[in-house]
Amino acid sequence: MIEAPADAVWAQVRDFNGLPKWTPFVAESRIENGMPADKIGCVRNFRLRDGGVIREQLLTLSDYDYQCSYSILESPMGVENYIATLKLTPVTDGNKTFAEWWAEFDCPPERERDLAQNIGQGVFQAAFDSLKQKLR
Amino acid sequence: MIRVRRSAVIDAPIDRVWEVLRDFNSHSAWHPAVGDSRIERGEPADQVGCVRNFFLKDGNHIREQLLALSDRDYISTYCILDATLPMRNYVASVQLKRITDGDRTFWHWESTFNVPKGREREFEQLVGGGVYEGGFAGLRSYLNGGTRRAVASVEAQGVVATAFGDPEVLQFRKVADSRPKAGEVHIRQTAVGVNYIDVYIRKGLYRMIEPPAPIGMEAAGVVVESNARFPAR
């Protein structure tokens, strides 16, 4: 739950090139080939504070449903077929926002628990926490 | 609030159909009712938020904005910003699904909007029949390279538009029919439907025929000759 209207939250997260602005772990980001960040198919190339580089491609962007999905093209995480979706739902009672962020991917079975924990808590929840601070 | 829903099966793989429909400015190439169209401010036609500014062949002018586009789910959603038609709160969505049986495409097109009281039926027909069904037919023809019939003929009868105009231009005549090409069948029609789009075609609003030519888009019957996977009987 984020204590801000969905429009305000969406204004932050809609920018596919905006991770450095609202997440604690992305140092810098650019969109490849000079494409607009809301052109479907564009690729964001970003560097984490720990040095890792990730390339992700925008698959879906909906200003109507407040929803964005993307796939990983390259990353140091050792995952395959990774597709993530970030979706906001307005909570009319109180003008707040219900935010969901989920991913599906393949990996070796012995790494499942760690990756689910790292991505769920270390990435998605950490980004949400940072977003809450920013929109407070 | 009016809700219009139409759907069709397109005999082409989903990626071929999506390649055309994901381009928000492609409709002037395949939709029979759409005239000139451009994307404002020179933005890419697959950038969410871009606006297409176009004329219908009947002279109406419309601006529509792309609200959502998904290469993953094959969905395009858009709304009308301004139109010379009295439509308000128009939001439409196109969605494709892969038909694995035969590698074809299911196309669902729907919208909700408001019109002045008493004109609901008229607009349901205009949007559902003229725009959506007209679009299905237009895209099929576009994907076939706009090809029209030729080859050897058999004798048949049909309702022929001798010119564009009022119902008086229609005549029941013998017409030349072609032998089925690859992927086609020849049917003896036992029942036919008359659709609103036939009126547009007869009037020449949609240039899908060049008179004199038979009109009509819907029929049921018995296959008498097959050049497709379905057997004749």
pLDDT in tens, B107-157: 999 999 999 999 999 999 999 999 999 999 999 999 987 543 333 445 677
Q: Does B26 score more than 70 pLDDT?
A: yes
pLDDT of residue B183: 73
Q: Residue B208 phi/psi, 5° resolution? A: -100, -10
pLDDT of residue A135 exceeding 70, the answer is yes
What is the nearest CA distance from A50 to chain B, expressed in angstroms? 31
pLDDT over threshold 70, residue B233: no
Report pLDDT digits (tens) over A16-55. 999 999 999 999 999 999 999 999 999 999 999 999 999 9
Which residues of chain A from 77 to 116 reach within 8 Å of chain B, CB to CB? 83
Distance CA B111, CA B231 (A): 38
Q: Once rounded to an integer, what is the mean pLDDT over residues B49-56?
A: 96
Cβ of B70 within 8 Å of Cβ of A60? The answer is yes
Question: A63: closest CA among B59, B72, B184, B48?
Answer: B48
Is residue B15 within 8 angstroms of chain A, CB to CB?
no
CA trace torsion B95, B100, B103, B109 (10° rounding): -20
- Burial pattern B160-183, b for ≥16 Cβ within 10 A else e, equals bbeeeeeeebbeeeeeebeebeee
Q: What is the ipTM of this complex?
A: 0.73
Of B48, B77, B91, the CB nearest to A40: B48
Categorize the per-residue pLDDT at B41 as very low, low, confident or very high, splitting at 50, 70 and 90. very high
For chain B, the average pLDDT equals 88
| Contact at CB, B72 and A69, closer than 8 angstroms | yes
pLDDT, residue B152, reads 42
pLDDT higher than 60, residue A73 = yes
Burial B91-124 (b: 16+ CB within 10 A, else e): ebbbbbeeeeeeebbbbebbbebebeeeeeeebe
Which tens digits make up the pLDDT trace of A85-96? 999 988 888 888
